[in-house]
C-alpha cells in the first residue's frame, strides 16, 4: 500500500472475473511485492513465477473484456454474443496456453455446456440477431447461418400469411409453404416471385417490395441496405 497506493485484491466467489482482477492487480504492483518480499527476506516469494502469472492473466483477459462489453447498456450487444463465444473458444486453443492444460480444455467444456443451445441452434435468438448485423453476420459458421436463414424464412412465411389474411390478398397456405413464395422482410430467401396485388400494399410494404426487387435484379444479397433506407 505504501509503495503504490494500491491494495492486493482478495479472491471472492461473488464477483465476476475475480481471478483475472486478482492477477491483474498482482502484476500491477509486482515491483512493490518484490521489494516487500526482499525487505522481509521472503526469498521464496521473490522467485514467484511472474511469467506464468502474466500468461494466465492473458488467458482470462478476453472473458473479462467480453463480460464488461455484454453487460453494457450504451449499445445493443445481442448480435455480438455468438461471435464472442466462438472467439473465446478459439482463444482457448492458442498454443501460448498449452502449458496451462487442462484449464483451457475445462473452460472450453464449460462454455459448450452453458451456451450450446445458442451455438447449436436449439435457441436461435442470438443467431438470428447476428445474421441481421452487417458487421457480425460474417462471423457465423455456414451451419449457423443456414439454421438462422431457415428460421427467418419460417417467421417470414407466418408473417406473409398474417398479412395476406389481414389485407385480403390471395396468398394461400399452400403457396406460402412453397419454395417460390414471396417472403416480405427477408433478403435471405431464394429467388422470389413478385407480389400480384402491389397496389394493395401499404407505403412501407411498397418500399420493401422495391428493395427485394433490387436484390433480385442484382442477384445478390449484398446490396447496400443502409444507403437504400437512408
pTM over 0.85? The answer is no
Give pLDDT tens digits for 75-125: 788 888 998 998 999 999 999 898 888 999 999 999 999 998 988 888 999
Question: What is the pLDDT at residue 195?
Answer: 42
pLDDT band at 173 (very low <50, low <70, confident <90, very high): very low
Separation of alpha carbons 11 and 2, rounded Å:
21
Give pLDDT tens digits for 31-76: 888 888 888 877 655 556 888 899 999 999 999 999 888 887 777 8
Question: What is the pLDDT at residue 1?
Answer: 53
Instruction: Please state, as a whole number, how many other Cβ atoms lie within 10 Å of the Cβ of residue 203.
Output: 7
Question: What is the pLDDT at residue 2?
Answer: 64
The residue among 56, 52, 65 whose CA lies nearest residue 19 is 56
Amino acid at each position: 500500500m505504501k509503495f503504490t497506493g494500491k491494495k492486493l485484491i482478495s479472491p471472492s466467489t461473488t464477483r465476476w472475473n475475480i481471478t483475472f482482477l486478482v492477477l491483474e492487480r498482482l502484476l500491477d504492483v509486482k515491483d512493490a511485492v518484490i521489494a516487500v518480499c526482499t525487505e522481509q527476506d521472503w526469498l521464496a516469494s521473490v522467485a514467484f513465477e511472474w511469467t506464468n502469472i502474466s500468461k494466465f492473466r492473458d488467458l482470462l483477459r478476453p472473458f473479462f473484456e467480453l463480460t464488461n462489453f455484454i453487460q453494457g447498456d450504451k449499445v445493443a450487444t445481442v448480435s455480438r454474443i455468438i461471435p464472442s463465444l466462438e472467439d473465446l473458444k478459439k482463444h482457448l486453443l492458442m498454443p501460448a496456453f498449452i502449458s496451462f492444460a487442462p484449464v483451457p480444455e475445462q473452460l472450453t467444456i464449460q462454455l459448450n455446456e452453458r451456451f450450446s443451445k445458442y451455438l447449436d441452434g436449439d435457441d436461435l435468438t442470438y443467431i438470428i440477431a447476428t445474421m441481421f448485423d452487417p458487421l457480425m453476420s460474417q462471423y457465423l459458421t455456414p451451419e449457423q447461418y443456414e439454421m438462422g436463414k431457415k428460421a427467418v424464412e419460417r417467421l417470414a412465411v407466418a408473417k406473409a400469411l398474417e398479412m395476406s389474411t389481414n389485407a385480403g390478398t390471395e396468398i394461400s397456405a399452400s403457396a406460402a409453404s412453397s419454395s417460390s413464395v414471396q417472403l416480405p422482410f427477408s433478403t435471405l430467401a431464394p429467388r422470389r416471385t413478385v407480389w400480384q396485388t402491389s397496389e394493395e400494399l401499404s407505403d412501407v410494404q411498397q418500399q420493401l417490395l422495391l428493395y427485394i426487387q433490387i436484390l433480385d435484379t442484382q442477384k445478390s444479397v449484398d446490396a447496400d441496405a443502409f444507403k437504400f433506407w437512408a
